[in-house]
Structure 1
Amino acid sequence: MEGIMKNTHVAQEVKKIEKLVPFMRRFLHQYPELSNEEERTSAFIQDKLHEFGIPFEIGYAKYGVLGIIHGKSPGKTVALRADMDALPIQELNDHPYRSTYKNKMHACGHDAHMAMLLGAGYVLKHLREEFNGTVLLVFQPAEEDAPEGGAQRLLNDGIFYQYVPDVIYGQHVWSDLPVGQIGVRDKEMMGASDRFEITLTGIGGHASMPHQTTDVMVTLAHIITSLQTIVSRSLDPLEASVVTISKITGGEAANIIPNQVKAEGSIRTYAPSIRTRLKERFFKIINQIAEAFDVKADIIYQDGYPATINNPKWAAVARQTAKQINADTPEVNPSLAGEDFSRFLEKFPGAFIWLGTQLDDATKQAPLHDARFQINECALPIGTSFLAQLAINTLHHLEEQSNN
């Protein structure tokens, strides 16, 4: 893979925008917008692309934006993607650029993703004479809108109708990794994420006379316990998976056995075969326990994001690019968190990469999706350089591949 590395002036161009990238990130952090509401965010991205002289298209998944950068000559196409939406969280940080909106916060780093992709666009625009082919800047709304997500809507709306990526990359801030480290795996990176809702309906009654009822609470207790045996007893112990009940709704008073209770949760897996087997056991266990307790079970099961599985070839290119910009590439374990980028990797080869953004004092680092989540902004020029260099290296490799 050493032959694919392309010496460029990326570092010089990144130096020119070393203050602009954190400025853009902080602006976006102050004005977060939830999934499918990214109107102001989209307008900001469009303004910056116009300012940088980068042509773009809009109208995909309502607020999606596609930046288009052509190199000096026609060639292959590489896409770089950043997600746009925030989370419904009330920020608890006290820095001067904290969210100005109630119960809205960029607690997953999407503000940084957009800023770095805009920065990479600036760099690539100024270095277009150093590569052949096309780089697409994909700004995706509604990544957090599981189980559907914005990626599939972008695809359905034809965002790649005219320019079809030969390779696609996504980058995500990762607070478990220190600044200066970039994590990439050859295969599984993130998990499949499905959601479910179980509604149990029985006969309610007085808490002192349970024999006159069909107790949905007791039934649910048995279901919750039994669902955990799927992972421990029905699946290959070497294959990771998780079943989580995260919300229970039911009951009105301490002396009343309710006639209905609802439980919600998620299922996380990597391998498609494990995902299928777990789902089969899930339905069977719930229905048979409900029948045993004379309770009616209604199940809503939503197949969510598939697993995010990297292509080993392009993961290797990403790893070599990280080393080229003097970043470390430690061995990392995959995460069972879901990621909408998986929809793109089902259609196009590519890789999803984690950028180390841990605070200098790791004891103060809050996790993703936490009200106190922060990133170390020293990682922003690294992520910007990485994206720009990765696009150039990949186009160079694709060109060499075509010529051989």
Structure 2
Amino acid sequence: MTKFATIDDFKHAEAELVGIRHHLHAHPELSLEEVKTAALVADKLEGWGYEVTRNVGGHGVVGQLRVGDGNRSLAIRADMDALPIHEAGDHAHASTVPGVMHACGHDGHTTMLLGAAEYLARTRNFSGTVNLIFQPAEEAGRDSGAVAMIKDGLFERFPCDAIFGLHNHPGAPAGQILMRAGPLMAAADSVKITLHGKGGHAARPHLCIDPIVVGSALVMALQTIVSRSMDSTDTAVVTVGTFHGGAASNVIAQEATLELSVRTFTPEARALIKKRIYSIVEAQAASWGATAEIEYDDGHPVVTNAPDETAFATEVAEELTGAGNVPECALIPGSEDFAHFLQHKPGCFIRLGNGETSAPLHNPAYDFDDASLTTGAALWARLTERFLTA
């Protein structure tokens, strides 16, 4: 019977993995600036015998390893960039770069895939091709690293039958693996609305068209989209995050702006909300005699896990941690640019527990839990071996 990777196979490497993770955490690099991180990754992969391609879609690195004569191929992705946040922690491996920190755990994601890379190169217990994708600029928004790598021919240059990725999950026990087939993380769209009124003296509002009043009515009207236009069993969020207008108490402004964040879990809900926002904004503005401009930015799509690949990943995770220890993950209203990969290839995005007392993601007190490193590395190694079984 073929033996596949276990968590115990990585115990001897735990201190080395922690060391790599702490180095990355102490030397974070923002999106589009991951020069040293990418160099570290590429140098290690080359040292282990991978065929390495640098500068894919920016600072992206792809390590490819072919073993045996198997004709199947697999891709696994880890992200590398940090965030413009000043770290609040005082641990020894705290960020040495003022105003920049790994507040989302990408240092841990990169380390786990490196741990799996070393093991796979050493043991070569598979037959086929594995492509390890170290992606830059996950936090860059619309023009993220996933989009850039795809535009740079990622899947044409490094063909794969399926792609897998992972993100840590604060609130779940360290090392716990969470799965969900179908929609997992939300599409994230941004909307900017500019209301044009007629400015004037605050004492003579009848001679003006007050865009702040229009905007106030609009804020309330937008809240009816989810509650009155959508199926009550669907999940979505429409949040007005900013509202700017006016500069003095005795002046009625000429214009006001609102900025919205829209989160949805199905293409149908996404299209419905977009349509309703346009109709409500135009109707509200017209009812007051104002005009409106709408800038609608379609962001990352829904992270939708393919059924077969999710079932396979669940099976591997249960083999690794024990049957019944892989709970279903709840829907997550946050977004992820891994969704773009899943629009091109079937695959699964996995969540890995980061501790029940972990600070939330994008928080100055956040830190990746080192207790999850060996589990994550073993998961990627075993998944590769199982997917590319000789």
TM-score band (shorter)?
over 0.9
User: Quick check: 1:54–1:68 contact (8 Å CA) kept in 2?
Assistant: yes
Residue 51 (structure 1) shift:
2.9
The 3 A distance-change label for structure 1 pair 211 and 71 is same
1:122 aligns with 2:118: yes
User: Quick check: 2:191–2:296 contact (8 Å CA) kept in 1?
Assistant: yes
Write the mapping of 1:1-400 to structure 2, written as runs, cut at 5 A: 7-11=3-7, 13-128=9-124, 130-326=125-321, 328-359=325-356, 362=357, 365-396=358-389
Normalising by structure 2, what TM-score?
0.95
Partner amino acid for 1:378? A
Partner amino acid for 1:199? T
Q: Which residue number corresponds to residue 402 of structure 1?
A: none
Normalising by structure 1, what TM-score?
0.92
Identity rate of aligned residues, in percent? 39
CA distance in 1, matches of 2:128, 2:183: 29
Unaligned runs of 5+ in 2: none
Unaligned runs of 5+ in 1: 400-404
Partner amino acid for 1:294? G
Residue 9 (structure 1) shift:
4.4
The 3 A distance-change label for structure 1 pair 83 and 6 is farther
Partner amino acid for 2:326? T
Query: Residue deviations 1:33-70, cap 9 Å, x none?
Result: 22212112111211221232322101211100001111
RMSD across aligned C-alpha pairs, in angstroms?
1.6
1:20 counterpart SS class = helix
Query: Residue deviations 1:256-295, cap 9 Å, x none?
Result: 2221222212111111111111100011101111111122
The 3 A distance-change label for structure 1 pair 85 and 180 is closer
Q: Please, which moves more after superposition, 291-300 or 306-315?
A: 291-300
1:286 counterpart SS class = helix
CA distance in 2, matches of 1:191, 1:316: 21
CA distance in 2, matches of 1:205, 1:26: 58
Query: Residue deviations 1:127-150, cap 9 Å, x none?
Result: 21x210011110111111222321
User: Quick check: 1:30–1:99 contact (8 Å CA) kept in 2?
Assistant: yes
Residue 375 (structure 1) shift:
2.6
Residue 6 (structure 1) shift:
5.4
User: Quick check: 1:6–1:392 contact (8 Å CA) kept in 2?
Assistant: no
Residue 10 (structure 1) shift:
4.6
